[in-house]
Structure 1
Amino acid sequence: MDDHLNHRALAMLRAVAAGRAEVTTSRQPDLRVDGLLCCDQAAARELARAGLLRPAERDAPGSWVPAELTPAGRAALA
């Protein structure tokens, strides 16, 4: 997927890298940046399915936890 990342997806990954994002611990994770829901949840879920971001910790399903980049996510930003 990293060959096809648009500006919005890259901005989401940069927010995760900066420690400004949270995701839900669910099969279809939602993303918040700076406490606000991301405007493109479909893109956020695609980034998670592509293995570019993930929850930084485990918690009860549906809980909000910090998001982190995976090695693939860091490579996509490099």
Structure 2
Amino acid sequence: MSEPTITLSHRAAALLRAVRAGRVDMTCGSEPDMFVDGLNCCDQPTAHSLFHQGLVRQARLGSVTERVRAELTAAGLGALAAEPRTTAA
């Protein structure tokens, strides 16, 4: 049985690419906030959705308010791999 296809918005895909690049930290807890390049992510609902869909996770355990590195899950890597590639003109 195959995994369901996840359709990402442009913003969600950009956030996943930033996670892949090591530019995202997130708080620990059940509704983690994300920070890109040290700044609060402008779309926390999308950040929460990516976490709840199992596409990103904290790289290690921490206290509820602690910021830790975010990492892609296997599902997150798969979602990015399924994204269409665009080429510059």
**So what's the TM-score if we normalise by structure 2?**
0.84
**Identity of paired residues, percent?**
50
* Match in the other structure for 2:75: 72
**Using a 3 Å threshold, how does the CA distance of structure 1 residues 2 and 64 change in structure 2: closer, same or farther?**
farther
Consecutive aligned runs of 4 or more in structure 1 exceeding 4 Å deviation: none
Q: CA RMSD in A?
A: 1.2
Quick one: which amino acid aligns to residue 48 of structure 2?
R
Q: CA deviation at 1:30?
A: 0.2
Quick one: which amino acid aligns to residue 73 of structure 2?
T
Structure 2 unaligned runs (5+)? 82-89
CA distance in 1, matches of 2:32, 2:64: 10
Aligned residues: 78
Greater helix fraction, Structure 1 or Structure 2: 1
Q: CA deviation at 1:2?
A: 5.4
* Match in the other structure for 2:23: 20
